[in-house]
Structures are given as structure tokens and as C-alpha cells.
Chains A and B, each alone.
Chain A
Amino acid sequence: MNTPADARTSVMEAQALSKWYGEVIGLNNFSLDIRHGITGIVGPNGAGKSTLFKLALGLIKPSTGTISVLGQKPWKNPGIHSSIGFCPDYESLPSDSTGREYLSLVGGLHAMKGAALSGRIAEVSRLVEMDRALDRKIGGYSKGMKQRMKIAGALLHDPEILILDEPLSGTDPLVRRDIIDLVKRLNKENGHDVVVSSHVLFEIERLTHDVVLIYKGRAVATGDISEIRDLIDKHPHNIVIEGEGIGGLAKAILDEGFTVSVSFNEGRTGITVQVSRPDDFFSRLPELMERSGGSVTKMYSLDDNLEAIFRYLVGR
């Protein structure tokens, strides 16, 4: 897949898209416009990422609104799957089959056969570094191997777009790094557009700067990840500091303009500081420590989890 991408066209576009499962909202009046390259869909579990992908793949139909992939509506449009490769976040591989049998099935479903299919299986399995495990039963694969095999299945027919639903979920750091490198390579060297989801913001940051943040079925922010970080930084942050001479440090922090509040934690071994401008806080902290004579043994943000960030973004 080395077709030059026209950055002006949309890879995936949704307008006022909603999907309800009975009384449960999957997506609510959701709009987005994904362009070529790698795009991250980030949101906590249950935010609507998988629902978005199912709609994009035509596995479910929209309740209201529209979604299009490469300008085509996916529901009841099987032809569109020639252009999409999908790697789901759940176990979808037939455990009784070997990797080769699975890829042969996928190839057959994409009208590939004979020497062309065998050649492509060899090529793709090398790309995902699974060529040595092709003739082993999938049931005996590790989590990382299964993820690679799912990606191989998604790549086999050389699609324009790859949709990867939580490809890093449940993998160890080494596998995660390998998959991140693979996804980048697929975009850079093979020209695939990639839409990848995760509930971990920093994982997506390692893949791309173009992100869509989803929360409770709505797109709450879209664009460059640094802009989203700026947006997040406009909201008060809660930071826990523990260490020696913490009382003096608390007083010094309280005198600063960016401080909203300071409270002592149980046992008075630490404080929770709420600041309006976290960047200013972090740059001023060494000076404040020196002035107050306090030392810090541990410091962490209570807002590192995605749920807290999204609560800020939707104003809760």
C-alpha cells in the first residue's frame, strides 16, 4: 500500500453520529474528521471507542447521524472491507488453527488464493515477525504473538486503512514497544493510514500527535496532542508531595499565584496541592524547596489517569 495520501481528504468522517444499545448510549452526537497518517482515539474504558470502530466497519448501524470511511458508508457495504484492515481488542483468532491456516482463511475471504496468497502470507508474517510461528497452533501463542497475528490478518489484503482497537492492551513493555515500532513502520514505510485506540494517553503519544479524545460517547477534544495538553493544563491539577519539612514548603507554595489550595494529608507526612498552572508550579518548585528548607521524597499527580483528565475537559 504505497498510494500517496492526499492530506485534504478524510479517512474517516462522522457527523452527529449516535448509537444506542437500548437505553445505553454508545456514542452521542459524535462528530470527527480523521485525515491521513496515524490518528489516536483515546478514552477510558466504555467511552465509545469500540462502538466507533464497529460503526466504521459496518458491524452495527448508526441510530442517527452518519459515518463514512474513505467516502463510503460502511453499513451493508462489504466492498469497503477491501480497503480496511481491522485488529480487534478481543480474542478473535481460532485457537484450534495454526497461524498459516488462519491467514489462509482471511486471504480466502479477501479473494486471495494460490501462490499469491502463500507469498503474501510469508511477506506479512515476516513483517510482524511471526514467520517462525506460522505453523504452530494459535492456542499456544502468547498474548503478544496473538496481537501480531491479528495485525497480520488485518494487513494481509494490503488495506488503505488499518483500524487497531487497543493493540497494546495486556501486552508487556517489550511487546508494546515492538508493536508501537511496527505501527509507525506500517505508516511510514508501507503508507497505511492507521486509526489506533487506547485508554492510555502516553501510549498514543508515542505513536502520534493527532488524537481524538472520547469520553462518555462524545468527542471532547480533537487535534494535536500538545494543544490538548494545553487545554488540560488550563484546569487545576492536584499534586501530592511527601517529604521532610513539608510544613514550610506548604506555606511557600501557598504564597504563589498559581496555587488554588493546599491541604495536609493524614499523618501530616504530605500535602495535596491544587494548582491552576502546573507548568509554572513544576518550574518554581525547586526554588520553593530551597527557600523553605524542605525536601521532597515523593511527588505524583492525582490527575494522571485519563478519567480525571476527561472530567476536566467536560467541566465536571
Chain B
Amino acid sequence: MDLDTALTGIVAIARHSFKKLIFSRKAVITLLITVFVAAVMGYAGSQDVDPLPDGTDMLDTLILFFFMPVMAMIYGASLIRDEIDDKSITHVATAPLDRSFSYLGYYISLALAVVVSMIIVNTAGFFAFFAQNDLGSEAMEVYLEFTVLVTVGAFVYSALFLAVGVMLKKPVFFGLVYAFIWEGFIGSLPGAIQKVSVKYYLRSVGSDWVDYGRMSGFDEALGPLASGLVLVGLLVFFVMFGAYLFRETELA
């Protein structure tokens, strides 16, 4: 298979799936989360707060480490699984495109959809909080840092949950447990156990960039380069693992 054939196929799947994700009923979830985050952060911002550290903590807790994995799970775990279940995967499975390339097309669309959704949520939350307090250059710096963290996290969590969707027939149950229990609970425990969560490495990267709030004082952080490499390694591993599973799966 030549490169042009592979690229054309990847782009076709990515474009179709992205449109499906962004304009599907799941988009309502993005809207609801955006409204919820804006309401919560707007209310918090209206109270007596120390804007930079408190605002940073809100972005950290509410967006980066709660809604981001949840959003990736909602979009990712069902993307390929739904198409396998309702058999609309047929046109992809009967195309002269190696399934690992098809999988890459799905992954790109998912990661982009999660990035777009989370940037919307992050932006809404940020402005709802900081517009009432301080929109200076330091606040904007925090906004940019969290935008980058959310983007990095979206790529890693998307890779994880897409693979889970191919591996399991009921991926949402596993996804919920993983997002809430594993990332939410294990990732917050002190000591070495937290290193088996994606959250730990995102926090480690963030602790090097962000100058305010709890994240800046994360004293168990791995160095930013090592953390970045682990995140890239996880991303590559999950994508390759998912592609392998997709290639081996019988689409009965």
C-alpha cells in the first residue's frame, strides 16, 4: 500500500469521524459541561478569592483532572465500539486500507474532537472566573498553560479510551471506573502509587510551568522532560496497542 493511499484513507476517516463527534448528540454533553463549568467557576470567582492561586486550582481540579478524562472517555470509548456494534464500520472494514491506518484516522478525529471540546470548556471556565477578578498577563499565562496541558492530556486520554473501546465490548463501564476511581483516586494518593496514573505525569509537567496554586507546589513531581517522554510513550503505546487489537478483531 502506497503512502498516498494510506493518507487519503486516514484523512477520509478522520474528517468523517470528527464531524460525527462534533455534531453528534454527544456535543450536547460538551455544551452542558461548558455551562456547568462556567456556572461553578463564575460563582467561585464572585466570592472572596485570591484570584491566581484559587483560579488555577479550579482549572486544575475541575477541568484538567475531572472533565478532561471524562470527556475523552465519553467520546473515545464508544467511537469505534458503536460502529462495530451497529455495523456501520463495514465501509471502513471493507476498504483497501490496513486497519492500523484506519485506526489512526479514528484516533486523530477523536483527539481533535476532545481537544476542541476541552478548549471550549477551559476557555469558558477561565473567563467565567478570571473576568471577575484579574485578566492580566499572569492570568493569561495560566490560561495558555492550561490550554497546552488540556491539549496534551486530550491526546493521551483519547489514545487510552479509544483502545479500551476496541478491547472491551462494554467499554463505558470500564471507562467510568478508570476515569473516576483510577485517575481520580489512585492518581491523587501520595507516594509511588500515583505514578501509575496519567494524571501524575500531567501534574509533573504542569508543576514546571504553572506558578500558582497546588500544582506549582507539587513536590513529588518527576522532571518535565521525563514526564513528557512518559506521556508521549503512553500515547504511542496506547495507539499501537489499539491499532493491533483493531487489526486482530473479527467484525462479525
Contact = CB atoms under 8 A, between A and B. Distances in A.
Contact of B88 (A60, A79, A93): A93
Interface string B105-144: 0000000000000000000000000000000000000000
Given A59-B252, A109-B13, A109-B97, 11 more contacts: A86-B90, A94-B16, A101-B16, A102-B91, A107-B12, A108-B13, A109-B9, A109-B95, A109-B96, A111-B8, A112-B8
A90 interface: yes
B40 interface: no
Contact of B90 (A82, A88, A108, A113): A88
A220 interface: no
Contacts of B94: 57, 59, 81, 84, 86
B3 to A, nearest CB: 11
B92 interface: yes
Interface residues of A, number: 35
Given A88-B90, A105-B16, A60 B250 contact: yes
Tell me whether chain B's interface is mostly helix, strand or loop, or mixed.
helix
A78 B96 contact: yes
A169 to B, nearest CB: 15
Nearest to B24: A96
Interface string A43-62: 00000000000100101110
Nearest to A80: B96
A60 B86 CA distance: 16
Contacts of B93: 57, 59
B1 A106 contact: no
Nearest to A89: B87
A106 to B, nearest CB: 6
A304 to B, nearest CB: 31
Given A96-B23, A111-B4, A111-B9, A79 B96 contact: yes
Contacts of A191: none
A110 interface: yes
B97 A92 contact: no
A59 B248 CA distance: 10
Contacts of A92: 87-88, 90-91
A110 B99 CA distance: 13
A111 B12 CA distance: 9
Interface string B14-57: 01100010011000000000000000000000000000000000
Contacts of A105: 12-13, 15-16, 91
Nearest to A75: B250
A282 interface: no
A153 interface: yes
A108 B23 contact: no
Given A105-B12, A109-B9, A59 B251 contact: yes
Nearest to B7: A111
B8 A106 contact: no
Interface in B59-94: 86-88, 90-94
Contacts of A90: 87
Contacts of B90: 59, 86, 88, 92
Interface of A: 21, 54, 57, 59-61, 76, 78-82, 84, 86, 88, 90-94, 96-97, 101-102, 104-113, 153
A104 B94 CA distance: 15
9 contacts: A60-B252, A78-B1, A86-B94, A88-B87, A92-B91, A109-B9, A109-B92, A109-B97, A111-B8
Contacts of B20: 94, 96
A39 B250 CA distance: 26
Contacts of B8: 108, 111-113
B11 interface: yes
B96 A153 contact: no
A108 B109 CA distance: 15
A91 B88 CA distance: 7
Most chain A C-beta atoms within 10 Å of own C-beta, residue among B13, B91, B94, B252: B94
B211 interface: no
B12 A78 contact: no
Most chain A C-beta atoms within 10 Å of own C-beta, residue among B16, B87, B251: B16
A108 B251 CA distance: 21
A106 B13 CA distance: 9
B59 to A, nearest CB: 34
A256 to B, nearest CB: 51
A99 B87 CA distance: 18
